[in-house]
Amino acid sequence: MKKLFRNKLTVFGAGIILFLLIVAIFAPQISRYDPTYIDIKEALLRPSAEHLLGTDSLGRDLFSRMVYAARIALLIGFVAVGLAAVIGVILGSVAGYFGGKIDSLIMRFADIMLCFPRFFLILAVIAVVGPNIFNVMIIIGLTGWMGMARLIRAEILSLKIRDYVSASRALGASDVFIITRHLIPNGIGPVLVSFVFGVAGAILTEAGLSFLGLGVQPPNPSWGNILMEGKAVLGVAWWVILFPGLAILITVLAFNLVGEGLRDSLNPKQG
């Protein structure tokens, strides 16, 4: 933790993430307007004291929509990558611990999944099952576990030959006990780093899907579908594009900064 917080960029990124979490949790208290309320008479108003970030083409307050969109972005990011992490840790630890045919079967399945371009695979599945928040979270999670499985497998391959594992096995500990109490806790570091980077990737993926109309569906706000709606008025209302674009950029940058700092702090070769 000392190494982690000595990095000023990591602290800066963590501060942004904390701020976004507070905004997402207290969205109803922060927002002055209903993010789905339409008032055509106030369409495309510039940023002002009344509407801090202006309004969109339907007269909806952009600040309120941005605040609620932060809640959706973080929800999708954490839930989707959390699902991917659970699947990846379970499959990777089983493959690394038991080896042999089980290892080959799981890793070849991971290789097959990696052969498909992930974004296009997500597009194809969502086109079949239908676009909504729940489906986006599940599909991003189900298509993002392969890297984490490989990371935890590599860690467990080196950890399972340690003396404390042999001692635990000699004392009669079960395989499940050894994996959950000894191997996963000691090999989880790279997965934590991958988790943080994965949240940034999931937020970008959701924004891309929503921009294409296959993610979060209107009137629910997301940074991606706000960008999509602002595309039609780009020449006359720059603020509808600028603010969601900045939000995506800053959020992804913050998670990447924390991920880099976490990777450095968990690296034993770093002083």
Count up the domains in the chain and report the number.
1
Q: Which residue has the tokens 């929503």?
A: 210
Task: Count CB atoms within 10 A of the CB of residue 46.
Answer: 11
CATH number of the domain within which 202 lies:
1.10.3720.10
pLDDT tens for 31-88 read 989 999 999 999 999 999 999 999 999 999 999 999 999 999 999 999 999 999 999 9
111 located within any domain: yes
Query: Is residue 41 in a domain?
Result: no
Give the 3-state secondary structure of the chain: CHHHHHCHHHHHHHHHHHHHHHHHHCHHHHCCCCCCCCCHHHCCCCCCCCCCCCECCCCCEHHHHHHHHHHHHHHHHHHHHHHHHHHHHHHHHHHHHHCHHHHHHHHHHHHHHHHCCHHHHHHHHHHHHCCCHHHHHHHHHHCCCHHHHHHHHHHHHHHCCCHHHHHHHHCCCCHHHHHHHHHHHHHCHHHHHHHHHHHHHHHHHHHHHHHCCCCCCCCCCCHHHHHHHHHCCCCCCCHHHHHHHHHHHHHHHHHHHHHHHHHHHHCCCCC
**83-116 residue pLDDT tens:** 999 999 999 999 999 999 999 999 999 999 999 8
Residue 48 domain-assigned?
A: no
pLDDT of residue 130: 85
pLDDT of residue 96: 95
Cβ-in-10-Å burial (0-12, 13-18, 19+) of 266 comes to middle
Give the residue from 227, 231, 228 showing the smallest Cα distance to 248.
Answer: 227
> Mean pLDDT over residues 231-257, rounded?
94
The answer to whether position 6 is within a domain reads yes
Give the integer Cα–Cα distance in Å for 52 and 54. Answer: 6
Residue 158 pLDDT > 60, yes or no? yes
Give a yes or no: residue 55 inside a domain.
no
- 40 lies in a domain? no
* 169-178 average pLDDT score: 92
Of all residues in the chain, the percent with pLDDT exceeding 70 is 99
In order of 13, 15, 219, the CA distances from 89 in angstroms are 26, 28, 36
Q: Which residues pair with 61 in a beta bridge?
A: 55
**271 belongs to a structural domain:** no
**Domain, as residue range, for 22:** 2-31+62-266
User: pLDDT band for position 270 (50/70/90)?
Assistant: low
Residue 227 included in any domain: yes
